[in-house]
Amino acid sequence: MRDEIKSLLRDRRHCVMATAANDQPYCSLMVYAVNADCTRLFMVTRRNTRKYRNLKNNPYVSLLVDSRDIAQPQALTIEGVFEEVAGDSEKKQIQHQLTAEQPGLQTLLDSPDAAIISVTINSVVFLNGLTEAYREPIE
């Protein structure tokens, strides 16, 4: 993965997640943390939501991370696969990472309905400026 893609992922904390059910797309604003090699993003959501039901029925998602810089825009469209994080030690590590970067998430993480989710990146489309774009599979 290109360094500029990793930098964008590490520098930002918000993304838009698109899920789908019955051919109906649904978008959600999410706070995320990223693993060291930028191949997985971690988020938290409640299980009793449309988003979570969509994820359980169709694990393929698209995420959008962007710079919000009008002078030099960068945008990263991620294609990936959802899974719920199950291991207690991994959950605690991700929970610590999420709250260290976004302390306001603690209330959501404390909810008995909370699920820590992971999106494994399959490919990205990176827009650097208004005209330079490329697609990169992630292995």
- Chain segment 87-110, per-residue pLDDT in tens: 888 999 999 999 998 889 999 999
Instruction: Compute the distance between CA of residue 4 and CA of residue 75 in angstroms, rounded to an integer.
Output: 11
Residue 137 lies in a domain: no
Q: Quick one: tokens of 106?
A: 């603690």
pLDDT tier at 69 (50, 70, 90 boundaries)? confident
Domain that holds residue 73: 3-129
Residues 33-59, mean pLDDT to the nearest whole number = 96
- SS3 label, residue 36: coil
Instruction: Compute the distance between CA of residue 107 and CA of residue 18 in angstroms, rounded to an integer.
Output: 24
**pLDDT value at position 129?**
84
Asked whether the beta carbons of 84 and 40 are under 8 A apart, the reply is no
Residues 57-77, mean pLDDT to the nearest whole number = 92
**pLDDT value at position 136?**
84
Residues 110-119, mean pLDDT to the nearest whole number = 94
Structural domains in the chain (count): 1
Q: The domain that contains 103 carries what CATH number?
A: 2.30.110.10
Among the listed residues 87, 32, 26, 86, the one whose alpha carbon sits nearest the alpha carbon of residue 57: 26
